[in-house]
């Protein structure tokens, strides 16, 4: 199975900050990576696919990058609604696997 490792596990930030989350795959997954946002008690929300393509309706302050084994999710200008947990997920090989999550909380 492909292992996905996110860093940091927790990130404390303020409204307006630019934050970056890193996701590393244990082997190359080309561009086959997605990002999700999850708030407590709710199902995840789909943000980005194919490493860098923003899903329709997702604010442009979210951006994704990378390929191969190293990927990033950047939020430019953190908003109050963005405090949540973020997960990366690879879909290059079955079983599809997720990172352990990065919690973005208020500094």
Partner 1 sequence: QVHLVQSGAEVKKPGASVKVSCMPSGYTFTAYFIHWVRQAPGQGLEWMGWVNPHSGDTNYAQKFQGRVTMTRDTSINTAHMELTRLGFGDTAVYFCAKGGSCDTTSCRPFQYWGQGTLVIVSS
Cα–Cα distance measured from residue 103 to residue 106, given in angstroms and rounded to the nearest whole number:
10
Beta-strand relationship, 45-49 and 33-38? antiparallel
* Residues 3-62 interacting with partner 1 (rule: CB under 8 A): 32, 34, 36, 42-46, 49-50, 53, 55
How many CB atoms neighbour CB 103 within 10 A?
A: 14
3-state percent helix, strand, coil for the chain, nearest multiple of 5: 5, 50, 45
Q: Which is nearer to partner 1, 18 or 28 (CB)?
A: 28
* Residues 63-92 interacting with partner 1 (rule: CB under 8 A): 87, 89, 91
Residue from the set 64, 78, 82, 99 that interacts with partner 1 by CB under 8 A:
99
Residue from the set 52, 69, 72, 100 that interacts with partner 1 by CB under 8 A:
100
Residue 42 C-beta: closest distance to partner 1, Å: 7
User: Which residues contact residue 14 at a Cβ distance below 8 angstroms, ignoring those fewer than 6 apart?
Assistant: 78, 106, 107
Binding site for partner 1 (CB under 8 A): 32, 34, 36, 42-46, 49-50, 53, 55, 87, 89, 91, 94-101
């Amino acid at each position: 199975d492909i292992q996905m490792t996110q860093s940091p596990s927790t990130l404390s930030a303020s409204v307006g900050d630019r934050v970056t989350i890193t996701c590393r795959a244990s082997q190359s997954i080309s561009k086959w990576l997605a990002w999700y946002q999850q708030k407590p008690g709710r199902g995840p929300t789909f943000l980005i696919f194919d490493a860098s393509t923003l899903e329709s309706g997702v604010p442009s302050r979210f951006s994704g990058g990378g390929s191969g084994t190293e990927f990033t999710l950047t939020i430019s200008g953190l908003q109050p609604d963005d405090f949540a947990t973020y997960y990366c997920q690879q879909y290059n090989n079955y079983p599809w696997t997720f990172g352990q999550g990065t919690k973005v909380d208020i500094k």
